[in-house]
Amino acid sequence: MIGFFPKLYKDETLYSWLARYHIRSNNSSYKSTLSDLFMKDTIVAITDFPCNLQTLCTEIGDMYKPRYLINQHTPLPYYSPFIKRGNYEKIIDLMESTNKNRVYAVLGLPAGNVPYPRHLRYCATCFIEDVNQYGEPYWHRIHQIPGVHICPHHLEILSESSVLSKRTVSNQKFHALSESINSPIHRNNLYSDKENEVLEVVALNSLKLLQEEINPIGLPNLRNYYISKLHDKELMTATSRIKFQELLPRFINFYGKNTLKLFGSNLNIDDKDTWLHRLLRKPKSSCHPIRHILFNTFLGDDIFSYKNINIKTPYYQPFGDSPFPCLNRASEHFLKDVISTVNITICSSTKQPVGTFKCNCGFVFSRRGPDLSKEDRYKVGSVKQFGEVWLEKVEELYNDGLNYSEIARQLKSNRATIKKYLFNENQKMKQHSNDYKHKSYKAKWSNLIVRNPDLSRTKLREQLPSVYMWLYRNDREWLLTNMPPKQKGCNKDINKVSWETRDYELAKKIELEAESLKKINNDGIVRVTVRSIGRELGVISMLENEIEKLPECKLMLAKVTETLKDFQLRRIKFRAKNLRDMGIEITPSKLIRNSALSTKIDGDILNSIEEEIYTPKN
């Protein structure tokens, strides 16, 4: 254990503290100093994140605790708000217990980021004040922070020493400021007024980060905080998409390109993947604190805003917080907050947000936002889908005897909508019925074939005629696939038809049938035609389609069939005889009407009518 050890000065780096001890120890080599401090001489002198601090604290008699040294005399508080939560404790553990310098890897800062100072720096005025107060100068923690170019206490440009940063050259030497600088040098301020203004803001905010010791906020929470601020600046769309095409020019104009170069944070308007994009997109890695300071300043806030970030800092929410109420009047949870999410799109005409809410009951509705009052939360703009619960309620009310208008009034809908959905449900029921019939008929037909494997198609059809016809009309393809094969004729020796014999025999039948038709003396008088003869003989198709094979029949038909005029003359005589038999006086109009003659009557018909009028009664 070391018997004497100097006290730490305010905001002094641990590197500076150990360098002052080396001077007081009168050790002949730095390795001896390392052995005193860390019980081994292989430790590397590190300016920012030294490790093996638990051993150091033990060797100096627990004069300080490791966590105190880390929070008050290393740059970790500067980084801690912007790193992943789990990594903070890992870094503490690395600095307390190990001698492996892996802190920067755990910090998660990308390579090639904000440049680290190549040399240790000091403020000339601080140098003089420290000598006056403590009798010696020392390395200040705030002066070594990347991106800090001026002293936040005196607003003076920092001067560089000849001592290289231990992040650039690895060695075991501790260089005290008193040994490195004999007389402090005041640097001239060559920056513009605008650049100086930004340099001051960055330096002061960096100092506050070191002093406030803000715990890790969490990368998602940081992003949510920034998104909410961008909404305030109207740099977000209603669907929470960042307007980078507007943000980049405004951000660059706010600082100026030369100022951004001072912090290694150059931006180009046309770039699609800048550090600013990575800062605001879903976080995958940490971003350097200097860039958080720059962006937060652009938003109009300072470091203290990070202390007040609510862990649940929300996005811009045009429809308020979830859960949202279900507005389905047919549901048991009507007006209850049961909808967990809302899908936000943009109205093409007004460019306002449109929220679509989908409930588990199947009810889907939307409205145009943003909601400006509590009452807006319970408004429906349009219904996208009613759902099964609503449809069941409509059917229930309809079955209870309510008409369309009464149902619409209860469900705050309109009559046409109720009518449409009830009609659709009826159609579905019919379709369901048809589906059931289809399935049932197919089963019946299949069973019939299984039970009667030897029956022909005709015989099967005779067994289930209605089933056959329904399947033939509605599923012909299936029916034909599930029919037995056609049976070929078994009698191949059937005599061919003798058309000559058939012609002779049929001609006689035609003559007799024609005479028979003319002898009908009831009210059903029939004109003798090819069809009337064929109908009585059952040979209509033959007389119409095969007449060229039946020359005798053709001649006989020409002989016995009546023209329309012949038939009218015969009918006049027939009707006149009926009137005379009934003792009714025959007049022209009465005979024309009873004979069903048209108004256009030729001379032969008129002569026949006159003859019948003047024919004496028997």
Q: Bridge-partner residues for 12, per DSSP? A: 140
Mean pLDDT of 305-321: 70
Residues 6+ apart with CB under 8 A from 435: none
User: Looking up tokens 């231990």, which residue turns up?
Assistant: 166
Q: Sorting pLDDT into bands at 50, 70 and 90, what band is 99?
A: low
Sheet with 353-358: list strands edge to edge.
342-346, 353-358, 364-368, 382-385
Contacts of 260 (CB under 8 A, 6+ apart): 252, 266, 267, 294
> Over the stretch 354-387, which tens digit does the pLDDT of each residue have?
999 999 999 999 999 888 888 999 999 999 999 8
Of 3-7, 246-250, 419-423, highest mean pLDDT: 246-250
Q: What is the pLDDT of residue 125?
A: 96
Say which residue the tokens 């006159």 belong to.
Answer: 610
| Residues 507-558 pLDDT 10s | 999 999 988 888 866 656 888 999 989 888 888 888 888 889 999 999 999 9
Taking residue 69's Cβ as centre, other Cβ atoms within 10 Å add up to 20
Give residue 130's pLDDT: 96
- Where along the chain do its domains lie? 14-194, 218-307, 324-392, 431-481, 499-562, 565-614
**What integer pLDDT is reported at residue 492 of this predicted model?**
47
User: Residue 176 has what pLDDT?
Assistant: 94
**Residue of higher predicted confidence among 389 and 595:** 389
The whole-angstrom distance between residue 567's C-alpha and the CA centroid of its chain comes to 81
End-to-end CA distance of the chain: 165
pLDDT of residue 559: 92
Q: Give residue 561's identity as a one-letter amino acid code.
A: T
pLDDT at 98: 72
What percent of the chain stands above pLDDT 70?
92
| Spatial distance between the Cα atoms of 318 and 369, rounded to a whole number of angstroms | 6
| Cα distance between residue 169 and residue 371, in whole Å | 59
Residue 52 CA: distances (Å) to CA of 23, 70, 93, 97, 391: 21, 11, 9, 5, 71
Q: Which residues contact 293 (CB under 8 A, 6 or more apart)?
A: 147, 201, 202, 205, 206, 209, 303
- Tokens 């038909």, residue located: 557
Read off the pLDDT band of 434 (50, 70, 90): low
At 431, the pLDDT band (50, 70, 90 cuts) reads low
Residue 428 confidence class, pLDDT cut points 50, 70, 90: low
Over range 147-160, report the average pLDDT.
Answer: 95
Nearest to 586 by CA among 612, 608, 552: 612
| DSSP string computed for 106-168 | HHTPPTT-SPPPSEEEE-HHHHHHHHHHHSS---BTGGGSTT--B-TTT--BPEEEEEEPTTT
How far is 169 from 156, CA to CA, in rounded Å?
27
Which stretches of 452-549 are DSSP H helices? 457-463, 465-474, 476-481, 499-518, 530-537, 540-545
∠ Cα 430 436 437 (to 5°): 90
* Local structure of 93: helix, strand or coil: helix
- How many residues in the chain? 618
**3 state SS of 49:** coil
Q: Is 157 within 8 Å of 187 (Cβ atoms)?
A: yes
Q: Tokens for 207?
A: 């100092």
Return the structure tokens found at 351.
């460019």
Among 199, 204, 49, 181, which Cα is nearest to 127's?
Answer: 181
| Amino acid 296: pLDDT | 94
How many helices (DSSP H) and strands (DSSP E) are in the chain? 29, 8
Per-residue exposure over 328-340, b if at least 16 CB sit within 10 Å of its own CB, e if not: bebbeeeeeeebe
Q: Sorting pLDDT into bands at 50, 70 and 90, what band is 329?
A: very high
Q: For residues 101 and 120, what is the distance between their CA atoms, to the nearest angstrom?
A: 19
User: 148 and 206 in contact (C-beta within 8 Å)?
Assistant: yes
Could you tell me which residues come within 8 angstroms of residue 559 by beta carbon, excluding any fewer than 6 positions away? 511
Once rounded to an integer, what is the mean pLDDT over residues 249-257? 94
pLDDT confidence tier of residue 496, bands split at 50, 70 and 90: low
Mean pLDDT of 215-225: 88
Instruction: Quote the CA–CA distance of 401 and 18 in Å, as a whole number.
Output: 94
Of the CA atoms within 13 Å of residue 367, those in its CB half-sphere come to 17
Q: Which residue, chain included where needed, has tokens 């059809």?
A: 461
pLDDT of residue 313: 46
CA distances to 175, 239, 367 from 379, rounded to whole Å, are 71, 20, 7
Q: What pLDDT is stored for residue 231 in this prediction?
A: 84
